[in-house]
Structure 1
Amino acid sequence: MARYRLVESPSVIPAPGGKLIEELMGRVNTGTEAFSLAHMVAPPGWREPAQRPTFGELTIMIRGTMRIEIGQGDAVETVDLRAGQAFWVEPDVRVRYENPFAEENEYYAVCLPAFAPDAARREPE
């Protein structure tokens, strides 16, 4: 097995709502299943369905702000994640990410184990 791996370019993963997803490490770009790392840019007004992923997710904000809704029903909490901050959500926790703000945001997401669409367990909108 090689002692290192150079990733020369990301794979762009299609996403609705104009969000850019560039996977550097993960199932799509490198076949890595232990974790994934993706660079993302979400335009103003972007929102994705709530999900209850089987993976944990670390979000690291580079620029702008993202709103994160955690939980459901009477137990919903909302966090506005700003540039320079990071946010971890445990597996099997209901979460929704959105950008209701006037400027796009940019962030990195690390998923453990690696992101897979079926593992996100997104709710219908």
Structure 2
Amino acid sequence: MLKLTKVHHIAIICSDYERSKQFYTETLGFSVSAETYREARNSWKLDLSLNGHYIIELFSFPSPPPRVSSPEARGLRHLAFEVNDVEEAAAALRQKGVTTEPVRTDEFTGKKFTFFTDPDGLPLELYEK
């Protein structure tokens, strides 16, 4: 049997490296673990951590093709982040100019959640702990 232990990281390709770097660090609060320019690929790779845990690799590539990215499209539906208080976290995002959907309650768990997007339209979710 395959014995997976955890999700190691999530890789995201962005269209505007500086804009996405600012969003994930200043808006969402990720810390930069490493930042590498890969000259052969004309590409940046940014390793991002949250509370000391390596989570996201943010890549830039010249002219990446667009991808369908709505929550109901085939493929990755969304990336969810756990927060203690969804209402408070959503308000903090709105203060930084990020549009969030109305807060809803999960009918199965009774937990609050909301969706928003990153600068490239990647669907992201806040889910209450």
TM-score (normalised: structure 2) = 0.24
The structure whose residues are more often helix, as a share, is 2
Larger Rg: 2
TM-score (normalised: structure 1) = 0.24
